[in-house]
Structure 1
Amino acid sequence: MSAPNAKAQAMVLAAGLGKRMRPITDTMPKPLISVAGKPMLDHVLDKLANAGVRQAVVNSHYLGQQIIDHVATRTAPAIVTSPEEDLLETGGGVKNALSKLDDDAVLIANADVFWTEGAEPLFDRLFNAFDPDHMDALLALYPVADGYGYDGAGDFFWQVDGRLKRRVDAPSAPYFFTGVQVLAPHLFEDTPDGAWSLNVVYDKALAAGRCYGLVHDGGYFHIGTPEALKESEPVIAQALEVERAKKEASGGV
């Protein structure tokens, strides 16, 4: 699929191996696993379309042709594919696609995450909150205590001014990273070639005091295993019903 003339405003990371989702991912990439009636990748892409994003880059590696075939007919957003012969991880994957992405700020989301919206859609909140004069990174966070299926110790402390501080040696932190973010592309200057994690650019932004957080106010579901998928389905269905009711009450479509 050839790139449109304008650069993409968003990127969806869909190249991972999905090992914890085996045996489902023996024959299907994790982003194409159905949750609440459609693939997780489509939930993310539909949210981008609702936020007004006209085109997005989707990378692929593991069973990548399935990803490429799946997005081939989408028009909202229009998809620019970024196949990876070798798995480049999150940082390398974004760097590999930089020539196809907006030069000022890029909205990036993992393809295998699922959330329901709060008072305002998460992507809209991130776009509106990102301030390039003060920020190089704006990460969407979620409270550890409220994340369905999340059993980690948290990633960040969210400071009074909105800037983030890593958990480091603390036994726990109150917020975890959701996999959704806005990044300034210049963060990728002087970064490694090949495979590497986005943690490299987060650390760069943290060191400069330019890494901020935004706490998502809707629902968030961590779906890491086939068992978690099965257990979460009825809870997700209920959460989506609540989301629809709120949207109708506010006059939304």
Structure 2
Amino acid sequence: MLFAAGFGTRMGALTKDRPKPLIEVAGRALLDHALDFARDVPVRVVNAHYHADQIEGHLAGSGVHVSVEHPDILDTGGGLKRALPLLGDGPVFTMNTDAVWSGPNPLALLSDAWQPERMDALLMCVPLARAVGRKGGGDFALSPDGTLSRPGDVVYTGAQIVKTAALQGVEDDIFSMHRLWEDAAARGRFHGLTYPGTWCDVGHPEGIALAEEMLERANA
């Protein structure tokens, strides 16, 4: 599940007439950078709301499902719940589309580290020193046993594996992914993994040039 429904307000004028996931970095849409990592995932779903027609047009003929949220945008948890008929019952990857990565495939790393007998959520995190373009501090603390808690100095990258069974009991249509995380944390099943490469936040205009510089250094 790739999240692409938001309004992209931090991007200012760049998202006046297009959705943030279609902003280009190094000549390619942010959405396509994210989809590169999911190429081997059998079912791929992208949610859409703001300029949803542009997302649908961009993905036409690609084999990627589009879950259009209308009339309301549903937030991350609600968007995931809406897409469950397409995704199925098992654990799913979710990924934000406003970041660029330099290093190994984060979804492959998450899959290798996933232990469903002890985890309900496994979040890919990166230390602040390797979070290019990050504005502000960290999101979580990562303990020696791999569990996450707040506050801390590692940044959530927007990629995770999460079990979705708890969504069946949520009556609300609009809610954040944090509801699933809080449930997992309360049972000691909320875990993190450190990304070994570099990650860039492209949720703001300055992130575009920073991401392109990061990719140039990686390819030099």
By the TM > 0.5 criterion, same fold? yes
Please state how far the C-alpha of 1:147 moved relative to its aligned partner.
Answer: 0.8
Other-structure match for 1:83: 68
Contact 1:163 1:211 in 2 (8 A): yes
Cα distance in structure 2, aligned partners of 1:14 and 1:141: 20
Other-structure match for 2:112: 128
Structure 1: 5+ residue stretches without partners: 1-10, 168-172, 243-253
Please state how far the C-alpha of 1:113 moved relative to its aligned partner.
Answer: 1.6
Other-structure match for 2:182: 203
Matches within 5 A, 1:59-98: 59-74=47-62, 78-85=63-70, 86-98=72-84
Other-structure match for 2:21: 31
Contact 2:98 2:203 in 1 (8 A): no
CA RMSD of aligned residues (A): 1.3
Q: Counterpart amino acid of 2:9?
A: K
Other-structure match for 1:141: 125
Other-structure match for 2:197: 218
Q: Counterpart amino acid of 1:145?
A: A
Please state how far the C-alpha of 1:116 moved relative to its aligned partner.
Answer: 1.5
Contact 2:128 2:155 in 1 (8 A): yes
Please state how far the C-alpha of 1:191 moved relative to its aligned partner.
Answer: 2.0
Please state how far the C-alpha of 1:158 moved relative to its aligned partner.
Answer: 0.6
Cα distance in structure 2, aligned partners of 1:235 and 1:184: 32
1:102 aligns with 2:92: no
Other-structure match for 1:161: 145
Secondary structure of the residue aligned to 1:189 is: helix
Q: Counterpart amino acid of 2:42?
A: R
Cα distance in structure 1, aligned partners of 2:136 and 2:182: 20
Cα distance in structure 2, aligned partners of 1:43 and 1:229: 13
Percent identity over paired residues: 38
Q: Counterpart amino acid of 1:27?
A: D
Other-structure match for 1:247: none
1:55 aligns with 2:43: yes
Contact 2:200 2:207 in 1 (8 A): no
Structure 2: 5+ residue stretches without partners: none
Cα distance in structure 2, aligned partners of 1:151 and 1:19: 15
Other-structure match for 1:45: 35
1:116 aligns with 2:102: yes
Contact 2:93 2:159 in 1 (8 A): yes
Secondary structure of the residue aligned to 2:35 is: helix
Return the index of the structure with the highest Cα Rg.
1
Q: Counterpart amino acid of 2:89?
A: D
Please state how far the C-alpha of 1:236 moved relative to its aligned partner.
Answer: 2.6
1:15 aligns with 2:1: no
The two structures have a TM-score, normalised by structure 1, of 0.83
Please state how far the C-alpha of 1:192 moved relative to its aligned partner.
Answer: 3.9
Q: How many residues align?
A: 219
The two structures have a TM-score, normalised by structure 2, of 0.95
TM-superposition CA deviations, 1:76-131 (whole Å, max 9, x none): xx21110001100111100111111131210110122211124xx21111112111
Please state how far the C-alpha of 1:231 moved relative to its aligned partner.
Answer: 4.2
Cα distance in structure 2, aligned partners of 1:40 and 1:225: 12
Please state how far the C-alpha of 1:227 moved relative to its aligned partner.
Answer: 2.9
Please state how far the C-alpha of 1:202 moved relative to its aligned partner.
Answer: 0.5
Secondary structure of the residue aligned to 2:137 is: coil
Q: Counterpart amino acid of 2:38?
A: L
Contact 1:145 1:174 in 2 (8 A): no
Contact 1:140 1:180 in 2 (8 A): yes
